[in-house]
Structure 1
C-alpha cells in the first residue's frame, strides 16, 4: 500500500499575495480562494479536470495563513527549471523582477543552481535549462 501525493501547503502571512506571486511565477491558475486558503494548479489540471481521475491530476499548491513570518531556512524547497529555449539567467532576472531575491545558503560559486527567495522569504532554486 502507498499514499498519493495530494498537495504542497505553503504557510504564509499574506495568503492572497503569495498565491498570486507563485501563480505568476509558475503560470498556474487559482481554482479556489477564501480568506484562509488559496489553491493554485497547473493549467493542465483544469483542462483535464472533467476527464481525468483526481489521483492522476498531480499536486497543486495550497496557501494558508499563519501569524508568524518565516524564521529559519526551509527544510524542503522547490527546484524550478527553465524550458530548453530559456536560459537560467533570463529566468532569474524575470523572477527578480517579480520580487524574488537572491539568497546565500552556503552554496559555492561553481554549482549549477541559483537560490532565490519568494516575497515572504521561502527559498527555492533555479536550475539550468532542462527538458
Structure 2
C-alpha cells in the first residue's frame, strides 16, 4: 500500500486572480468552490485518477520568505522558449533565487510571487 499526491495547496491572497493564471498555464478549470478558496483540476477527470488538483486557499497572512516547495512545469507539445513567452503573456515574471545562468530551467513567479520552474523537456500533449 502507498499514498499518492492528489492535491497541492497554495496559499494566496486572491484565489480568483490566481486561478486566472494557473488554469491556462496547466489546462485546468475551476472544479470546486469553497468559502476559503478554489480547486483547480483537469475537466472530467475523477479525483485521484489524474494529476494532482491545485487548491488555491485564501489567506491574509503575510508570506514569510521563499516557499520551501515549488512547482515545476514542462512544455506539453512545444519548446521551452515558446512556453516561456506564453507564460510571460499570462502574467509570469522572472525570479532570481540564486541561479547562475547555466541551468536548463527558467525560474518564474506567478502573479502573487510564488516561484515555479519551467523545465526544458517537452512532455507531449
TM-score (norm 2): 0.87
- Structure 1 residue 130, shift from structure 2 partner: 2.5
Structural RMSD (CA)? 1.7
Which has the larger Rg? Answer: 1
Q: Are 2:5 and 1:5 equivalent residues in the alignment?
A: yes
Structure-2 residue corresponding to 1:97: 89
Give the gaps of 5 or more residues in structure 2. Answer: none
Distance in structure 2 (CA, Å) of the matches to 1:123 and 1:58: 20
The one of 49, 68, 74 aligned to 2:67: 74
Question: How far apart are the structure 1 equivalents of 2:48 and 2:73?
Answer: 23
Report the secondary structure of 2:56's partner residue: strand
User: How big is each residue's C-alpha offset from its partner over 1:13-43, in whole Å with a ceiling of 9 and x where there is no partner?
Assistant: 0011112210111111111124412011023
Pairing of 1:1-131 with structure 2 (within 5 A): 1-43=1-43, 46=44, 48-49=45-46, 54-83=47-76, 85-131=77-123
| Aligned structure 1 segments of 4 or more residues deviating by more than 6 angstroms | none
Q: Which has the higher helix share?
A: 1
- The size of the alignment, in residue pairs, is 123
Gaps of 5+ in 1: none
TM-score, normalising length from structure 1? 0.84
